[in-house]
Structure 1
Amino acid sequence: MEEHFSFDQRLGISLPNLKSDWEDYSLETQQAVLLQWEKIRGSIPDRIADLEKFINQKQAELSNEGSFLRSCQLNSEISELASIINDLWIWYRADQTISPKVHQ
């Protein structure tokens, strides 16, 4: 299954990386890909929870920070973590358009 997924360093999860059109894969391969994706997709809320902990830590640090430059850096880090969370939610909620084709 690893040939159908690639690890996204920024998001911290593997994402589908299909080299051919979905219809070109055998039914068995489609089902295996969907099963693997559901496992990955199921881990996304835990990944988000971990990132939210980092955001909370950085916000706590920010509230006690006296240096303007460090405050800007912390805000930038918080913003990047929030962007990652947003992208993870997009992947989590991605329309399962290929699922019905497998069940036909």
Structure 2
Amino acid sequence: MNERNKNSEFTHIKSVLKGYVRETSKNAAGGLMHVIEVWENVIDKTISENSRPDALRNGVLILKVLSPAWSQQILYLKKNLIRMINSGLDTEIVNDIRCRITSHF
């Protein structure tokens, strides 16, 4: 009968999953999960409350925004947002940002 090695120290599942998601999203095509994490931590709270990353395809980040005014604001800040996201990712994943207007998240 096989004996299992018992770990005397426990690791919380949240930290295990967070590390797993971070590593797999870095390696996965696009890495949307990692972009979402950076978006929530790096982008100004007012912007992040009114927009959400929805998709990442071929370097283009698609954001859901709550109004046409927020779409214009995001596009006005696009270069700075791209720079902030990529610096949070430590790699150049995002090359462009496009907005999709929605009534809710």
For Structure 1 versus Structure 2, the TM-score category normalised by the shorter chain is under 0.3
The structure having more radius of gyration, on CA atoms, is 1
Greater relative contact order structure (CA < 8 Å, 6+ sep): 1
TM-score normalised per structure 2: 0.27
| Greater strand share, structure number | 2
TM-score normalised per structure 1: 0.27
